[in-house]
Structure 1
């Protein structure tokens, strides 16, 4: 093939040809309900890891392919199984670490799905299924790109490759830092590609250059020693629901912007992005207004947000004329890039304690903090990635921020400070990751796979 085409052109052709097989393997992975959350069958996560291990072994390029786990700090438990495959660099070439995760989110209310969540289904140019986009497509972009590189160069190329497919990202990556520490020598690389983000749209690739951090916790509000009759004592005794609603309302201003002192924001320009696009991509109906101030993307990328994601209180079906003694809520805060997540949590706790109404007793538990991420855009790997994306998609890439969080990236930065980290992805804005009817845009997947194969070819030709 290389005698007829230049090496990059041969890799592009091989990558394009590799897409159907990659999609078939992706379908097989989607059929495995690899949910790592407590209460779900861990054997399915093990089954998924075994399937990924078999795919990695089938490449024939790695010195070692293993399923490994690590201890969860502060517990007697171990994390979910991850796949780790390695091959050493040769002749002065760099080493690239390819990351994705094979665990998925729970499906939620299955009645909201238009097709069975764990049966891959193609409709209108999209592959539907839980994990089809987030992040089993990332797994198969790596595998497919490596297949293409091997098709052209054979198994004896010089680029060093480490493949790390995590098994608990959706469940909080509780053993991630320990896994990095335990396997630091195997994972150490010049370039790290994290295939767990998105693109500007289905046709335009993106490099994620900033991510918000997160501070998530459970807040319990208590006002009574026991439940009491709402008719006998209502109007004189504060119930926990009223106190909780009153307290939560202090977190936002009249426009819906965050109103917590100590939560910072980042000053950075954002591309043009109109309200019509927001409505289309987020599913915001006419008549419901956006919240916050400033450009829309600055609100999503560079400012904090606070969301109540769960509540424990009497359900509608179990409602009675009772004053609730206690209510618990889960508060999820996205932290502006550049601010410490712990600092943000401290500001939130101080605000809530200062604004607790009627002397309500507050308890904070299950605190989980993860720092945001800012990319140094001047590295040679960033330039190579931009060039590969432009060639693979036929459109120049856009540097984007992402309102979501990938907290483990701060662990990568801490463990491997010399590595250049590239955050890429196969999702488009309509992927609906984490939601019912999650899907993968097939053309985006093709372009992502081709782009990564071209990046690997570039790195194999580069002296570290």
Structure 2
């Protein structure tokens, strides 16, 4: 197929792709503990159906120990052609507070060329970009194709990583496309070349056998909630830099966003300063960060006049490429224990880890991607980092050191992934699928 034929085929396939994405987003495939399993399995079944519709002759669900099934598909390579592995995931983040959504999280809604709904960008757009790109070839693929779509990426852990380590030949390829990142802005093409790793855990602070009346005991009884607040506040200094020993600042070689653009994208309120020091690229992509992502304490609505006996927080540490998530978790936990006032008891549970990744930016696959992206977007891509974590990428890099790993996708910084009002720009989805299809054709010719 010529590049023009590929572009026309992708464009012609967009209406069907939007219908498929709408079906996917309507399934609340939250693979977190406590959420129903049936929708996750329904998303796996639909993923299997979509990959079959893309012309792949072998499609099946593969069990993953301790997790939901992955969906695997394969088409053999023509003689002498390389093989490309395509990755995405069909599970999504919980929707959070329904009152913060302008449209229902699992009722896909089209507004001004964007599809809104949980998972519309992260990462059901990744799955659909693969399907749309593959459909352009009508089953006559120029390269060997393998696809693996994960079912529990969002709930941190390394379940699929262990599966891949035990089944390397299943996913072995010459190049790997990970469609779980995106561009800094719509229409601004970029390839993600670094990913931070992850360490997360729950910290519990306990001071009393049970809660006490604040009028009778307040002022003398040790308050677990006050202790937890002090412990968490000790993680950063007044400037917002991390105070934990052993977590140094890093440096990112490429350019990051301007402060003006970052403030606008993040929705930072006027007069509120950005925490930390160093460039934004350094802070976002090459350094450690620590975030409190949840609290188990009485709500304001349910507050009573009591000194609390126990309080919990979920803490997430982002680890720069080259850093060790286990060591970072140990350092943060040790700091929290030392910071606990009044001899309060500190317990750590539910610890999960994921490794970061730093890509090699040379090679024939990256060259082919640069050409494909320039044609699809009208300009060449630039290298960026990502503060988020995709632990499987590090596993791919370890198992297949000769394979080129390419990270790009239809998400963008304004897509509100992991937040209310998540959306994917449909024109960005078309450009991303066009890039992938052009890449597959170009890479076959090398």
Normalised by the length of structure 2, the TM-score is 0.96
3-state SS of the aligned residue for 2:315? strand
Structure 2 match to 1:17: 12
Q: Counterpart in 1 of 2:114?
A: 126
- Give the alignment of 1:95-114 within 5 angstroms: 95-114=83-102
String of CA shifts for 1:201-259, please: whole Å, max 9, x gaps. Answer: 10111100011111110111112233233233322232111111111111001111111
1:231 aligns with 2:215: yes
> 2: distance between equivalents of 1:331 and 1:409?
23
Say what the alpha-carbon RMSD is for the aligned residues. Answer: 1.6
Instruction: Say if 1:86 and 1:186, in contact at 8 Å, map to a contact too.
Output: no
CA distance in 1 between partners of 2:250 and 2:277 (Å): 14
The alignment partner of 2:59 has SS state of strand
**What do the CA deviations read for 1:427-464 (whole angstroms, capped 9, x no partner)?**
111100111111011221111011011001112223xx
Matches within 5 A, 1:51-450: 51-62=46-57, 64-72=58-66, 79-150=67-138, 155-271=139-255, 273-450=257-434
TM-fit CA distance, 1:182: 4.6
User: Gaps (5+ residues) in structure 2?
Assistant: none
Alpha-carbon deviation of 1:178? 3.1
**Deviations for 1:171-190, whole angstroms, at most 9, x for unmatched residues?**
23552123313542221111
What CA distance in whole angstroms lies between the structure 1 residues aligned with 2:356 and 2:158? 17
Match of 1:231, SS state, is helix
The TM-score with structure 1 as length reference comes to 0.92
Q: Contact (CA 8 Å) 2:64, 2:70: kept in 1 or not?
A: no
Q: Secondary structure at the match of 1:107?
A: coil
Q: How far 1:13 moved relative to its partner?
A: 2.1
Secondary structure, aligned partner of 1:391: helix
- Following the alignment from structure 1 to structure 2, what is the Cα–Cα distance between the partners of residues 425 and 157? 21
* 1:150-206 deviation line (CA, Å, top 9, x unaligned): 3xxxx3445111011111111235521233135422211111100001102101111
The alpha carbon displacement at 1:270 in A equals 3.8
Aligned mates of 2:178, 2:149 — CA distance in 1: 10
Counterparts of 2:6 and 2:319, CA distance in 1: 40
Query: Could you tell me how far 1:408 is from its partner in structure 2?
Result: 2.1
Distance 2:412 2:374 in 1: 16
Kept after mapping to 2: 8 A contact 1:215/1:370: yes
Aligned residue-pair number: 446
Which stretch of the first structure deviates more once superposed, 201-210 or 15-24? 15-24
